[in-house]
Amino acid sequence: MAGLLEAEARTIAAEDAGRCGLCERPLGRKVEWHHRIPKSRGGTEVVPVHPICHRIIHASVSNQDLATTFADLDVLKARPDISRFLRWIADKPADFHVPTRRADIR
């Protein structure tokens, strides 16, 4: 029952937000939920993101770094690799997707 309520809350939050937490473009048909601090590190707060935006976050930044340095989305957006991605994705449609290559993030 709690899982259902949580899913409903996430759906409502996505409709209210309407924009991706990373690139700030309008959300498309598919929405994923990014834990600003990974669940494995005790995080509970989520933000709606496009699948491609979610992939680039986790391909670029380790969970340890997300938990300690990049939980603040503005700090994450300022990373050169993420900033470059944001410039590239800015004019793409909401449901745009291409494979994401993983960076070497030990």
Q: Total structural domains in the chain?
A: 1
Mean pLDDT, residues 53-76: 95
pLDDT confidence bin for 12, thresholds 50/70/90: very low
What is d(CA 37, CA 86) in angstroms, rounded to the nearest whole number?
21
- Please tell me the predicted confidence (pLDDT) of residue 27: 95
pTM listed for this prediction: 0.78
What is d(CA 40, CA 95) in angstroms, rounded to the nearest whole number?
28
41-63, pLDDT tens digit by residue?
998 999 999 999 999 999 999 99
Does residue 58 lie in a domain region? yes
Does residue 106 lie in a domain region? no
Please provide the distance, in angstroms rounded to a whole number, between the alpha carbons at the two ends of the chain.
38
State which residues form the domain around 7: 2-89
pLDDT confidence bin for 97, thresholds 50/70/90: confident
Does residue 104 lie in a domain region? no
Does residue 96 lie in a domain region? no
Does residue 102 lie in a domain region? no
Does residue 97 lie in a domain region? no
Does residue 45 lie in a domain region? yes
Q: Is the pLDDT of residue 28 over 70?
A: yes
Does residue 23 lie in a domain region? yes
